[in-house]
Amino acid sequence: MKIENIISGGCELAPRKERMEFPGIAPSVGQGLARVIRNEDGLALVDAPGCKLKIAVSCLVEPQDGDLVLVVGSAGHYYVLAVLERDCEAGQVTIDLGRNRLHIKANELHFEAENTLGFVAMNLRVDCELSVQNTSTQVINVSGSSLLNASAVAVEARQSYSVHTQLGAIQASALLKVDGAQLHFG
């Protein structure tokens, strides 16, 4: 099957048949579909390993070996605009922005993972009016200190509540009340 504007052989991109002329835009822009591979110099075409490719900022998905991509080029500069096909067994899609920041703005934003949703960061900051978590089990491991600062804290444990520590203190400047059917100290 012949596909027009396929890249093969050298770094030449097939020019578009119908072309619109715009002032300030190079008229010799070509485009094509190609398979890519990573080598010691970076991203290149499978059929032309010497043709170096840059990834366009608008191409959010990081190309992997064997991906079918859309490439445009002019005057020796070639850019991957989009990843069009990937082997389904590749298993991971990476969005790599390097050292740039990613800002997503929406009225509502939902993440859904069938198994695990993980975050890895030096710092995690959440600023919101209301935070709600619904879970069957929660485990928090803190290797240093944990600080909760609030004007009021209420804890309700339906079955049992226990605190274990080597040293402990409860302080109240006005009133400390302990209430229970039985109290055991010592």
| 76 domain-assigned | yes
| 21 domain-assigned | no
Lowest mean pLDDT among 25-29, 74-78, 143-147: 25-29
- Report the C-alpha gap between 11 and 50 in whole angstroms: 8
Three-state SS for 117-151 is CCCCCCCCCCCCCCCCCCCCCCCCCCCCCCCCCCC
Q: Is the pLDDT of residue 131 over 90?
A: yes
For the residues 159-180, what does the mean pLDDT come to?
Answer: 92
| 62 domain-assigned | yes
Which phi and psi angles does 89 have, rounded to 5°? -90, 5
Lowest mean pLDDT among 50-54, 85-89, 178-182: 85-89
| 152 domain-assigned | no
Q: Note the pLDDT of residue 17.
A: 53
- Residue 51: give the domain boundaries: 30-90
User: Contact, 155 vs 161, CB < 8 A?
Assistant: yes
Assign 99 a pLDDT band (cuts: 50, 70, 90).
confident
Exposure letters 148-186 (e unless 16+ CB within 10 A, then b):
eeeeeeeeeeeeeeeeeeeeeeeeeeeeeeeeeeeeeee
């499978």: which residue's tokens?
46
Number of domains in the chain: 1
- Report the C-alpha gap between 27 and 3 in whole angstroms: 22
Q: Note the pLDDT of residue 3.
A: 35
| 157 domain-assigned | no
Give the closest residue to 45 by CA, choosing from 75, 7, 13: 7
| 42 domain-assigned | yes
Residues with Cβ within 8 Å of 81's Cβ and at least 6 positions away in sequence, in order, are 56, 58, 59, 69, 70, 71, 72
| 8 domain-assigned | no
Q: Is the pTM of this model over 0.75?
A: no
What's the whole-number average pLDDT of the chain?
A: 83
| 47 domain-assigned | yes
CATH number, residue 80: 2.40.50
